[in-house]
Amino acid sequence: MLKKRHKILLIKSLAILLLLSLFLLYLFNDSIKNIINIIIISFILSYVLMPIRDIIEEKLKVGANIASMMIIFMILMVVVSIIIIFIPTLFNEISTISNILDSIGTLLENLYSKLNLNDLPILNNIYNRIIEKGNYMLNDFSSIAIDNILATTNNVISLAVIPVIMYYFLSDGRTLFNKALLILPSDRRTVIKKILYDIDKVLSRYIVGQFFLCMIIGVLTFFILIIFKVKFPLWISLLNAAFNIIPYFGPIFGAIPAVVVAFIDSPIKGLYIMLAMIVIQQIEGNILSPQITGNSINMHPFMIIILLLIGDKFGGFMGMILVVPIAVIIKVIYDDINYYLF
């Protein structure tokens, strides 16, 4: 009995030491950081796709291996289709962004002249500095965007590993989970299983709900931009969909590019697009979001805003995306520990 306790203590100590070592390597070693990022991305994508795997298993009466292989095959087909159909369009839109940037400069100069800001030296100085800084950032936007896309293609081998890791998470996820539980004392496994079940129930509803909301917002934005003949509809739609992941602030940030591009083309068109974005946000906030995600977060808006500010401080855009799910996990753990152990 004593040997068994020593063995469990040794396993726990080694596990903690391993996690601590990986954390330190993640902070100070770029190679390890890239590997861990790939594993994290693979796990998140697999986690989102697990309900689809379960549905395929149930409906088609196949095993987890076959269902996982079908999912990976469908994902690869979607990725290939995107590369063939959408990537050339994105490159064309990026290459013509300079025209929009020139229009922004002309618009600011006209506004500056009409307001007679030459008579105010302080405002004149501020304006010149804004223009200088803006020109520096905007003139390099196209080249920076293209360089980032090309840099991504240089990591094709790393990206190609993601579907393989996803397959093993999907097909062997249950086995890996059960083996991980063996580290814990037998009398605690039931409680841990219940806590993890509650986390999975809340988190899966939130993540899958956010995914579908982003898809819906992206499609609605794309069709509205096409109807009003706004430039760069695909690029702006993808941007709006991505920003929609962030609660409260995201829809505002995502709507700005659409409104600005439309306003440069025509002030009336800009007004219509602004109204359309407001309508989309109201539909998402008052109709779609309650139906799809419900009260899965169950947090006060003020707390969510504070969390978003913290996430932005420590992790930028990715921090704002991840901070709410992390807070949800912590909240579920806290509630369940109070319920099951006290």
- Report the pLDDT value the prediction gives residue 300, as an integer from 0 to 100: 72
- Report the pLDDT value the prediction gives residue 119, as an integer from 0 to 100: 57
Determine phi and psi for 106, rounding to 5 degrees.
-65, -40
Below-70 pLDDT ranges, the chain: 1-9, 11-12, 15, 26, 86-87, 89-157, 290-298, 315, 317, 340-342
Task: Pinpoint the alpha helices (H) of 115-155.
Answer: 121-139, 141-154
pTM attached to this predicted model: 0.65
Interacting residues of 249 by C-beta distance below 8 A, sequence separation 6+: 308, 320
Determine phi and psi for 229, rounding to 5 degrees.
55, 45
Closest CA to 336 of 190, 175, 174, 177: 190
Could you tell me the two tokens for 278? 């407001």
- Report the pLDDT value the prediction gives residue 91, as an integer from 0 to 100: 64
What are the boundaries of each domain within the chain? 1-183
CA distances from 35 to 29, 31, 41, 212 (A): 10, 6, 10, 28
CA 49 – CA 56 distance, rounded (Å): 11
Q: Are 258 and 233 in contact (CB under 8 A)?
A: no
Q: Are 26 and 33 in contact (CB under 8 A)?
A: yes
Instruction: Find how far residue 29's CA is from the centre of its chain.
Output: 24
CA 173 – CA 48 distance, rounded (Å): 13
Q: Are 64 and 170 in contact (CB under 8 A)?
A: yes
Q: Are 270 and 277 in contact (CB under 8 A)?
A: no
- Report the pLDDT value the prediction gives residue 223, as an integer from 0 to 100: 92
The DSSP line for 166-194 is HHHHHHHHHHHHHHHHTTS-HHHHHHHHH
CA distances from 317 to 23, 151, 199, 250, 323 (A): 21, 19, 24, 10, 10
3-class DSSP state of 29: coil
Residue 297 per-residue DSSP state? S
Q: Where does residue 61 fall: left (phi above 0), alpha (psi -120 to 50 degrees), or beta otherwise?
A: left
CA 178 – CA 102 distance, rounded (Å): 59
Could you tell me the two tokens for 288? 């779609």
The DSSP line for 197-257 is HHHHHHHHHHHHHHHHHHHHHHHHHHHHHHHTT-S-HHHHHHHHHHHTTSTTHHHHHHHHH
